Structure 1
């Protein structure tokens, strides 16, 4: 089975006719780990939604495995989407279902299999992420990191050719985040033909897992290349981002409160 590139050709995406990103031309290489990097609100998750096919581009193309995703017929479009697995930011587990039931949703919703086989499939992928002993727990009984790992198990149960992860380390402590990075790398090694795309602003994770990096800023792409090329870049913004420097933003902190507001607060505090 050949791995699939994800190509953007003069792509503009957004909401309605309002573009969040435009002029994006880059290729996320087949069978590699690509990280879409950028500051909060720069359009990373918006781009991910369009790769998944949840929204149509304003203009331009998204080509997956050489095929223009949004020019495909309905049947072929659905076939490509079936070969995608998605890890959402919070795991997106259903609270009324156990972990085993959650991770087998892609199977139980679309194919007919005996309960025994579904159970075995659930335990197999939960074992891969270290959660097989929690198969009958509910999401609210688990930590945030465990819920993310369960979401990852669900994303890979159908053995996708493309795995898309939205902020897999956000909200995790450094040790748990490092374990998530290692888990993603182990899964990628297990499924060598899988193209892995990770949306992140976690610099430690970037340096641990990335083969290729797409950096978004100010409504466009300011860098597309390998991790080594990114680290060697002399671009001032990229250097600032990678060094985690705040920059020279001027803030006026001398903003006295309105006297009436202050008087009301003081009266309330004394009561």
Structure 2
């Protein structure tokens, strides 16, 4: 399978006239695990939407395997999109379908194959993520970590060239998060030519899975390179981010309540 890198050239993205990221120039290398890192609201998920092709850039280009995604014809654009698997934050499973049916959706919706063959394909990837015994359970019968693993199984069932993961460890306890990191790493070893991109602000996950890191801040990209280079950086913000330092900003925690509001609250609480 040919590997595809993901390249941003002078990319500016946003919503309407609101610019979220400006003039991004970076390459997420083919066949590697890249993590897009940054603070909350920093544009990580917005950038992911543009890689998937769900949003069009204000200016600049997103190149997938050397081809400008937004200059492709409709048919070729769909072909590229078929080569992408997506793990959404909450797994995005359909509540009315069993786990096996959810996982099989990319095949059952697009391929004319016998149902037993499609179910076997679903069981194969559920086996890979340790959920084969739960194939006939429904999403509301599973834990959050199990739903994420099922979402990962669905994302890889068609063996895509690019796997995109939006906050794969968010909402998980540390042990479950570590298991998800281990699963992503072992899965990438099995599909070594797959380009895997994870959006995250989880530093433990970053250090567990990343080969390459893109760091976003203040509407731009301030670092793009190997994890080792990021760890060795002496940039003050990167050091602060990686070591979870609060910085010099002080929050004004003591803000007296307006007396009229305070009086009204006291009267209501005592009534």
**What range is the shorter-chain TM-score in?**
over 0.9
Query: Which residue of structure 2 lines up, in the alignment, with residue 133 of structure 1?
Result: 133
Query: Which residue of structure 1 lines up, in the alignment, with residue 235 of structure 2?
Result: 235
- Offset, 1:254: 2.6
Query: Which residue of structure 2 lines up, in the alignment, with residue 59 of structure 1?
Result: 59
- Structure 1 segments of 4+ aligned residues over 3 angstroms from their partners: none
Q: Give the whole-Å Cα distance in 1 for the aligned partners of 2:205 and 2:251.
A: 31
CA shift digits 1:173-230 (9 cap, x unpaired): 0000000000000110000110000000000000011000000000000100000000
Q: Give the whole-Å Cα distance in 2 for the aligned partners of 1:254 and 1:170.
A: 31
Q: Give the whole-Å Cα distance in 1 for the aligned partners of 2:118 and 2:2.
A: 27
Q: Give the whole-Å Cα distance in 1 for the aligned partners of 2:64 and 2:255.
A: 52
Query: Which residue of structure 2 lines up, in the alignment, with residue 255 of structure 1?
Result: 255
- Offset, 1:256: 1.1
Query: Which residue of structure 2 lines up, in the alignment, with residue 26 of structure 1?
Result: 26
Q: Give the count of matched residue pairs.
A: 271
Query: Which residue of structure 1 lines up, in the alignment, with residue 123 of structure 2?
Result: 123
User: Is 1:205 matched with 2:232?
Assistant: no
- Offset, 1:253: 2.4
RMSD value, Cα? 0.7
Please state whether the residue corresponding to 1:48 is helix, strand or coil: helix
Q: How does 1:49-198 map to 2 (within 5 A)?
A: 49-198=49-198
Q: Give the whole-Å Cα distance in 2 for the aligned partners of 1:222 and 1:45.
A: 17
- Offset, 1:17: 2.9
Please state whether the residue corresponding to 1:25 is helix, strand or coil: strand
Query: Structure 2 regions of 5+ residues with no counterpart?
Result: none
- Offset, 1:113: 1.0
- Offset, 1:168: 0.2
Structure 1 range deviating more: 170-179 or 15-24: 15-24
- Offset, 1:53: 0.3
TM-score (norm 1): 0.99
CA shift digits 1:140-173 (9 cap, x unpaired): 1100000000000000000000000000000100
Query: Structure 1 regions of 5+ residues with no counterpart?
Result: none
Please state whether the residue corresponding to 2:222 is helix, strand or coil: strand
Q: Give the whole-Å Cα distance in 2 for the aligned partners of 1:153 and 1:209.
A: 18
Q: Give the whole-Å Cα distance in 2 for the aligned partners of 1:14 and 1:143.
A: 34
Query: Which residue of structure 2 lines up, in the alignment, with residue 244 of structure 1?
Result: 244
